[in-house]
């Protein structure tokens, strides 16, 4: 049984042949489960990885349970959680003087217990489940432009997965030539349909946005969908309800709840298309959630009071690390960089 699923065809963990794994086999399954989580959150996972993971989880209830536990741990603390637990086990075997590194590890381990502000990246788990169904996707920090028929252009932001819509009467077949639009499985896109004479549909979650001669954006993260009309007109439908958006208007829906149209500054919403992130008096949890989408690893905030503060600034995506200096200078935060891309803000 191999522990690092870097290539699912050659290195994917193999199912255990025992119906009830003994202790050593169970530990091996747990190691493999953590390897799968690291692989799928690396930003370079492939469709073959997602398919191989599904086969691995289907091999036995023990595999499925181990992956669920590993995913829960990563969601709660990320790689920092694994490091803390490894350190704690080492401390039991070989006590040593308590120093700053051990203290920091203890603080991280206590995040969930004391209710400190632990902020996880948005869209992480939705991206994993949508991976196997995507026709196009982008990895961490990647952006991509796709030119479609009828002069429609779709820009994919980081960690985004889309699939062709399946029009009624096609027997489930997908095709660029017959598709009326796309399904935004996870992430964020911008649609330029200004020169097209017909409507272009973007399905996301339980609803859809329909733009005719419009420039609009759709963001689908953690089952929360935000539609922003930059120019033209966009109709948003959810169940039996609908909202008509004009230029510089936005609406949010989640589940079966469709909000009201509000006026927004579209220069902020569209800044990513120019390689920039703009924050204007933005709560720190929202800032952290956003920057976690553009970098590998994890940024966590372990100070409740700090998590209540707001941040403003303009940052280039290709130099996203500069935001930590801003946190130190403006918010007075202590920033600690750990292996694996972990950044602790406290």
Contact 68, 60 (CB under 8 A): no
φ/ψ of 15, rounded to 5, equals -60, 145
Q: Is 77 left (phi over 0), alpha (psi -120 to 50) or beta?
A: alpha
Kindly report the CATH number that applies to the domain delimited by 275-345. Answer: 3.55.50.30
At 20 the pLDDT is 45
- Highest mean pLDDT pick, 38-42, 43-47, 256-260: 256-260
Contact 69, 29 (CB under 8 A): no
pLDDT tens digits, one per residue of 68-93: 777 766 655 544 544 444 544 454 44
Give me the CATH topology for the region 124-269.
Jelly Rolls (2.60.120)
pLDDT at 267 over 50: yes
Nearest to 165 by CA among 153, 156, 177: 177
pLDDT at 305 over 60: yes
pLDDT at 26 over 90: no
At 2 the pLDDT is 43
Going from N- to C-terminal start, the domains of the chain cover: 8-114, 124-269, 275-345
127-147 residues labelled b (16+ CB within 10 A) or e (exposed):
bbebbbebbbbbbbbebbeee
pLDDT at 95 over 50: no
Higher pLDDT, 28 or 116: 28
Higher pLDDT, 339 or 82: 339
What does the alpha-carbon distance between residue 235 and residue 215 come to, in Å, rounded to a whole number?
12
**pTM of the entire structure?**
0.66
Mean pLDDT for 292-311 is 90
At 65 the pLDDT is 82
- 33, containing H or E segment: helix 23-40
pLDDT tens digits, one per residue of 152-162: 999 999 999 99
Higher pLDDT, 341 or 45: 341
Mean pLDDT for 142-147 is 94
Confirm whether 124-269 and 275-345 share one CATH topology: no
How many degrees, rounded to 5, is the angle at CA 130 between CA 127 and CA 133?
A: 145
- 73, containing H or E segment: helix 61-77
At 335 the pLDDT is 92
Nearest to 294 by CA among 323, 269, 266: 323
220-259 residues labelled b (16+ CB within 10 A) or e (exposed):
bbeebbbbbbbbbbbbbbbeeeebebeebbbbbbbeeebe
pLDDT at 94 over 80: no
Nearest to 127 by CA among 267, 261, 292, 241: 292
What does the alpha-carbon distance between residue 38 and residue 268 come to, in Å, rounded to a whole number?
32
pLDDT tens digits, one per residue of 201-246: 999 999 999 998 899 999 999 889 999 999 999 999 999 999 999 9
Q: Is 210 exposed, middle or buried (0-12, 13-18, 19+ CB in 10 A)?
A: buried
């Amino acid at each position: 049984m191999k522990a690092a699923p870097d290539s699912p065809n050659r290195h994917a963990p193999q199912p255990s042949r025992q119906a009830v794994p003994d202790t050593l086999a169970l530990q091996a399954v747990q190691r493999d489960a953590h390897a799968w989580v690291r692989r799928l959150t690396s930003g370079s996972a492939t469709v073959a990885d997602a398919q191989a993971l599904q086969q691995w989880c289907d091999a036995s209830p023990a595999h499925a349970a181990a992956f669920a536990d590993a995913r829960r741990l990563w969601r709660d603390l990320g790689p920092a959680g694994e490091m803390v637990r490894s350190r704690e086990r080492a401390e039991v075997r070989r006590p040593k003087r308590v120093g700053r590194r051990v203290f920091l590890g203890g603080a991280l381990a206590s995040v969930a217990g004391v209710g400190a502000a632990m902020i996880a990246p948005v869209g992480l788990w939705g991206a994993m489940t949508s991976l196997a169904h995507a026709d196009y996707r982008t990895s961490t920090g990647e952006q991509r432009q796709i030119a479609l028929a009828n002069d429609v252009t779709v820009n994919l932001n980081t960690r985004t997965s889309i699939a062709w819509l399946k029009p009624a009467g096609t027997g489930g077949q997908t095709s660029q030539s017959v598709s009326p639009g796309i399904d935004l499985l996870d992430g964020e896109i911008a649609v330029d349909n200004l020169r097209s004479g017909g409507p272009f549909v973007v399905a996301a979650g339980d609803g859809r946005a329909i733009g005719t001669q419009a420039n609009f954006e759709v963001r689908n993260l953690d089952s929360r969908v935000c539609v922003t009309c930059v120019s033209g007109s966009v109709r948003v439908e959810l169940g039996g309800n609908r909202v008509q958006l004009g230029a510089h208007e936005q609406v949010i829906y989640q589940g079966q709840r469709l909000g009201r149209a509000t006026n927004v500054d579209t220069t902020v919403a569209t800044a990513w298309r120019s390689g920039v992130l703009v924050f204007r008096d933005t709560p720190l949890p929202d800032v952290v959630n956003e920057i976690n989408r553009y970098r590998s690893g994890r940024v966590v905030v372990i100070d409740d009071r700090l998590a209540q503060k707001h941040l403003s600034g303009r940052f280039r995506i290709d130099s996203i690390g500069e935001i930590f200096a801003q946190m130190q200078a403006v918010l007075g935060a202590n920033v600690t960089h750990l292996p694996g891309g972990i950044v602790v803000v406290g």
